Amino acid sequence: MSTLSNMRQRYLSDPAFKMFKKVLPPLSETEREAMEAGSVWWDGELFGGSPNWNTLLNYPKPQLTDEEQTFIDTKLETLLAMLDDYKIVQEDRDLPPEVWEYLRKEKFLSLIIGKEYGGMDFSALANSTIVTRIATRSLSAAVCVMVPNSLGPGELLGHYGTQEQKDYWLPRLANGEDIPCFALTGPEAGSDAGGIPDQGVVCYGEYQGEEVLGIKLNWDKRYITLAPVATVLGLAFKLQDPDGLIGDKSDLGITCALIPTSHPGVEVGQRHDPLNMAFMNGPTRGKDVFIPIEWIIGGKEYAGRGWRMLVECLSAGRGISLPALGTAVGHMTARTTGAYAYVRKQFGMSIGNFEGVAQAMGRIGGFTYMLEASRTLTTTSLDQGEKPGIITAIAKYHMTEMARTILNDSMDIHAGRAIQLGPKNYLGHHYFGMPVAITVEGANILTRNLMIFGQGATRCHPYVLAEMEAAANPDVQEGSKAFDTLLSKHISFAVGNVAKSLLNAFSGSRFNRAPVSGETAPYYRHLSRMSRALAVASDFAMLSLGGELKRRELVSARLGDVLSHLYLASATLKRFEDEGRQQTDLPMVHYALQHCLHQCGVAFDEIFANFPRKGVGRLLRTLLFPIGIHYKAPKDEITVSIAKLLMKPGAHRDRLTHLCYIGNKTGDPIAIMERAFIALQEVKPLDAKLTQAVKAGDIPRKATLAEKLVLAKEQGLLKDAEVEQMENADELRRIAISVDDFNPERFSSLTLEPGKAA
């Protein structure tokens, strides 16, 4: 056995080891830290080719604590009733003072700070739920709550701060005495955060009348949310120590510090105008600003460790904030579009009955179900203590993209009703704000092309990261030995996946196991096949392209699409089981799963057709889909059935849109549409009587509703109370489909002062 092992190493592993070292893509320090940060969760199962579905189903069901639910039922509802998004965005361009005070007092800005410091210490699920519900009412308000509870001073201090820093800052952040912001992005470095030019130099300087060891800082940042109103600034910069005052390394790297905005030289207060949204966003600058060395988050021992800190926190925060905004769009558009499509009539019938409209409504319903499923599964991972960087990147990218798609669908269906801004318009500001979610915390175009598979290929693969570490081992003999063991396992893994892929192709995935029976069982089997195909395609891509794969962004993006849709489908299946297999939800479940499988098929087809090594592309097609890719987009009957469900009140509609804030004030925009929808549903039997009378010729077809009601009353078809009920319902309908208009003087008074470039 030892002889065989030696021969394998000599003739197979060692040559492969040498080749691997040559083709190994060069990694910068920031790339390495990003790759090593965080953790692997369900994404590792999907990447491995044989996902254990029982593992997925055994993850805890999403469940709020009693304290969290009480906060949501009371304090959150009070906040939502205080918000008037039209006034916030179009008139005040800011939250009202009483709302800011309420956010501080009731600790909306300290949801993630520990109780020992006066914060709420809520779960990721609660944080996400609160932001989602606020965002259905006002995106601007949601962002103001979201940012302090995401990547920023509170989270960084909680994980890395010295005890002295925690004891001073966290109580002040918890009670709202201080408002935080975090400055990372600048004019010369956006998504390439590792390339920030902002500099700090370790030196001695004066602070409070004494000469102390510190840092002289110069920075120029932009797009910083809450910067105009922040009292404490978290700052990321590159730290240099040319005189060796804190160590023997001169270029220490990215470092994070906490600076009061009242500190001499700190510039804040100017505002950007992010697509007319009202949340506070602006630049911050500083020139030759001296701070004590103790202001580094974590103290001077954490000098140069900022990038790792940021990536680890972003691995978690990215899965909460922006996915919550995306989910909010789903809840809000599904509820309002279903109502509007029923209330609005053309050619004598509700527009939702037209198949073209129904197609878009089906997409809204199916995507909304998938959005909520992904939100809860992702927060489940975070509440288990994981920091799954790949999963949160998937959630951020796909959930904001799905939100963009269904928001466009909703705008199309509402048509002119959504175009005219005013207090009645519940879609317009979300439409303005959607690009904000798309572009921040890693622009979507970057996330898809570089992050999901680019990092997932090494992070989630069962062997590649370990093989890379073996190849990078400075002890060549030890590295070669470790590589030999790993390569043997890797080859066995790859051969097994190829064989099983061929079996799946010719058996229609029938031999794959499903953990449940019923209508969803086939989906588990097909998703296992796609997982296996991804494992094979990934191995071939890394083997044939080597370091070139890093630059082949389109290949990487499509492989990432497969992984992403496997995750989204997994979340859908998990939600269906967690909620007790609700049969009325099956159309949405079928839509989501068929969409995911179809997208996997599309991605594979494009990978094979465009693979840089044409022969490899043809070989992969032959091995994985020898008789073709037969996964189709959701069927029309499913789409139409979802549209009907959205236009029908009931538990299914409430379950799908349970986080949408409706309100109960006369002028609440969604409440206006909801009242009309419910009223028209309640008079359906009466409307049917009128329709029957028209068909019988007892009432003229071309008569107005008022004329029809008079005749129906005279003929004894309807009672006085029934006529009044129909008149009231029609008045609510008329109000719901109307739009706002304004005095022309209002427009002449709206001016915007130009500012300097940032």
Instruction: Report how far residue 62's alpha carbon sits from residue 46's, in angstroms, rounded to the nearest whole number.
Output: 21
Of these residues, 45, 155, 441, 467, which one is catalytic?
A: 441
Biggest distance spanned by C-alpha atoms of the chain: 104
Specify whether 441 is catalytic.
yes
Cα 168 to Cα 10, 106, 161, 439: the distances in Å are: 61, 20, 10, 34
Cβ contact 732:725 at 8 Å:
no
State the Rg of the chain over Cα. Answer: 29
Mutual angle of helices 355-383 and 389-414, in 10-degree steps: 150
Cβ contact 545:555 at 8 Å:
yes
Backbone angles phi, psi at 283, to 5 degrees: -90, 165
**DSSP run (H or E) holding 542:** helix 521-545
Mutual angle of helices 476-507 and 464-471, in 10-degree steps: 160
Residue type, 247: G
Q: Cα dihedral sign for 182, 184, 185, 191?
A: negative
Q: Cα dihedral sign for 88, 92, 95, 100?
A: negative
Cα 737 to Cα 138, 195, 277, 660, 670: the distances in Å are: 21, 51, 25, 20, 12
How many DSSP H helices and E strands does the chain contain? Answer: 34, 9
Query: Which residue is it, tokens 């069982």?
Result: 521
3-state secondary structure 21-41: HHHCCCCCHHHHHHHHCCCCC
Nearest to 319 by CA among 74, 131, 90: 131
3-state helix, strand, coil in the chain (%, to 5): 65, 10, 30
Token digits of residue 140: 């601007």
Kindly report the length of the chain.
Answer: 758
Cβ contact 468:24 at 8 Å:
yes
Which residues are registered as beta bridge partners of 336? none
Token digits of residue 346: 């053309």
Cα 473 to Cα 32, 467, 476: the distances in Å are: 15, 10, 6
**DSSP run (H or E) holding 164:** helix 163-174
Query: Which residue is it, tokens 């527009």?
Result: 351
Token digits of residue 106: 């009731």
Cβ contact 712:699 at 8 Å:
yes
Instruction: Report how far residue 371's alpha carbon sits from residue 572's, in angstroms, rounded to the nearest whole number.
Output: 9
Cβ contact 472:453 at 8 Å:
no
Instruction: Report how far residue 254's alpha carbon sits from residue 302's, in angstroms, rounded to the nearest whole number.
Output: 10
Nearest to 526 by CA among 539, 509, 513: 509
Number of other residues whose CB lies within 10 A of the CB of residue 567: 25
Phi-psi region of 547 (alpha: psi -120 to 50; beta: other; left: phi over 0): alpha
- Residue 484: how many CA atoms within 13 Å on its side-chain side? 19
Instruction: Report how far residue 361's alpha carbon sits from residue 347's, in angstroms, rounded to the nearest whole number.
Output: 19
Cβ contact 329:406 at 8 Å:
yes
Q: What is the DSSP string of 271-291?
A: ---STT--S-EEEEEEEEEEE
Instruction: Report how far residue 490's alpha carbon sits from residue 508's, in angstroms, rounded to the nearest whole number.
Output: 26
Q: Are strands 251-260 and 180-183 parallel, antiparallel or unpaired?
A: unpaired
Residues belonging to the active site: 441
